[in-house]
């Protein structure tokens, strides 16, 4: 039976947003971005993204609420594309019928992409600090090593593949309903 949930995960700057926007257009599925929900939560709390990350390090309920919200959306609104660092893991834990994708690229390429997107000259340092904060939170709050890619059905290098090729690989993967 084809998956009615497609999760797309990766570290900052790996190309998840680009792939998800293209997938949404191609499939016509609903789309939910965990990162945008987290940014909205930070804005609502009057915090920067870095401040919200630091707050979440000390307050596990932030991540737990976000994760539960993503699982509930997937159950309530299939078919759906879920974008977020932990969506593949949450699909496993929530026993969702999902095809789970991890996108990857080198730290330098990811920092360059983030710098171009955000106009930030210190992109590499900020990206690595954010990545370390998130990795610590995921391990402490969920018992998940973000570097463990064993739950993913597809691992795709976005450094060597153009966005259209990445999306084509995802759409051709066994179990993806098109």
pLDDT (tens digit per residue) in 139-173: 988 889 989 999 999 999 999 999 999 999 999 98
CA distance 173 to 74: 20
How far apart are alpha carbons 135 and 85 in whole angstroms?
10
Residue 92 in this model has a pLDDT that exceeds 70: yes
Question: Residue 49: its pLDDT value, please?
Answer: 84
Task: Spell out the alpha helix ranges (H) of 28-153.
Answer: 34-44, 49-58, 61-76, 87-93, 107-118, 123-142
Q: Which residues pair with 5 in a beta bridge?
A: 80, 98
* φ/ψ of residue 19, rounded to 5: -65, -45
What CATH number should be reported for the domain whose range is 5-171?
3.40.50.300
**CA–CA distances in Å: residue 30 to residues 74, 94, 113, 114:** 10, 19, 25, 25
DSSP for 20-36, please give it.
HHHHHHHH--EEEEHHH
Instruction: Read off the pLDDT of residues 48-78 as tens digits, 9 standing for 90 and up.
Output: 988 998 898 889 888 888 888 888 988 998 9
- Between CA 140 and CA 157 the distance in angstroms is 28
Domain residue extents for the chain: 5-171
Q: So what's the pLDDT on residue 163?
A: 97
Q: What is the dihedral of CA 85, 89, 90, 93, to 10 degrees?
A: -170
Query: What confidence score (pLDDT) does residue 56 get?
Result: 87
């Amino acid at each position: 039976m084809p998956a009615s949930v497609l999760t797309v995960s990766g570290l900052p700057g790996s190309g998840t947003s680009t792939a998800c926007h293209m997938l949404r257009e191609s499939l016509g599925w609903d789309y939910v971005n965990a990162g945008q929900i987290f940014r909205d939560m930070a804005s609502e709390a009057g915090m920067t993204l870095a401040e919200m990350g630091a707050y979440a390090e000390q307050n596990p309920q932030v991540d737990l609420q976000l994760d539960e919200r993503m699982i509930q959306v997937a159950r309530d609104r299939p078919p759906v594309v879920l974008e977020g660092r932990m969506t593949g893991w949450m699909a496993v834990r929530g026993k969702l019928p999902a095809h789970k994708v991890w996108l990857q690229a080198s730290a330098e390429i990811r920092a360059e992409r983030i710098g171009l997107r955000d106009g930030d000259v210190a992109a590499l340092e900020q990206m690595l600090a954010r990545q370390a904060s998130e990795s610590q939170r995921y391990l402490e709050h969920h018992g998940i090593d973000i570097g463990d890619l064993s739950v993913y059905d597809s691992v795709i290098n976005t450094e060597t593949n153009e966005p259209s090729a990445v999306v084509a690989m995802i759409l051709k993967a066994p179990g993806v309903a098109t």
